[in-house]
Structure 1
Amino acid sequence: MTEPVSETGSVKASIDALLQAGAWLVAVIVLFVAAPPRLMPADDAIQSVRTAQFLVAVLLALAIVAVRRGRPRLRTIWSAAASCLVAGTATLFAYLWLLGERTCGYDGRGPVVIGQTFTTEAARYAAAVPGSDCKTLIQDAAGRTDAIWPRSELVANHLLLVGAFIATVVLFALSAVFAGETLRRAREL
């Protein structure tokens, strides 16, 4: 026979569930507000989003287990929340800056990664057609960004952007988990 759950226990469980849902909400909002770029125009960004979702799920689970089982001091959890929030904000700004510097809007389906150095052929073309922006160059190359910029540069920029994107999502989600745990612990005092 099971024992009845007290009203206080039910409220605490509900608040815990809301705090954990809040952490997921933070991650989802970041996923939609600052979606990762595509490597090539024909690609989609779904793989980067799925990778971020997986990492967030694993790291949030590990963080929740570590905080609940390890029972660190309230100050330690608060410091972790604040640190993750500051680091998340810094990585968000870095990601947004990189997004502006290393991507181009091409077809309305989200940003496409670009390079910094033209291929020889693209440099000649750009010199012959002054005032061409990245969108025009991509259109003129039939969407083949690797014909405009070296593939190694495109891949390096893509990895840098995806890394910054995933770090931003994970740090904000961890901040929300640690903040929720801080509130939960503070109520227990």
Structure 2
Amino acid sequence: MNKRAKQAKVIRFFRKAHRITGIYLFVLFFILSISGLLLGWKKHSKGLILPRTEIGVSTNPNDWLPLSNLQSKALESIKSKNKSITEISRIDIRPEKGIAKFIFKNEYWELQMDCTTAKVLAINKRHSDWLEDIHDGSILDDLFKTRVEIIKLFYTTSMGCALILFTITGFWLWMGPKRMKKLK
């Protein structure tokens, strides 16, 4: 078999791998790209995807109330808005703004509070969090209540390998005919 025939065989193999993989992963690539696009724009969405960060009274930590006081006030305040929320997932302190963001475990809620006065500055849905869960596949781990995020691990590994495969096969689908013309 000459070089040109070998090159044509390689190109046919890559074309078939590219086509078959693309057929199976089309929907997942579409979801991944849309969620990634929205996440890329989250800070520039004027509060639609990620709530705007408010500004507190003082940026001096010496003026702030103890975190335990802020935490209990945050839970009390969020329960008046949504009774099903019972647990804080994380607390994001923004020293340059003088606020604390309390992110809750269920339903993607956020409460922003002034660290000095404990005044609630904003209560918002965090659409960026559920978009991120869709983007990385962890939404399925939450749905099926897996403990070690096995679905997320499988999904991110599959999508990463698929993108690598698409890059390699796509490159050869572009480069192969150019090489064949040179062999002619």
TM-score between both structures, scaled by the size of structure 1: 0.38
Larger radius of gyration: 2
Structure number having the greater strand percentage: 2
Structure number having the greater helix percentage: 1
- Higher normalized contact order (CA 8 Å, seq sep 6+, divided by chain length): 1
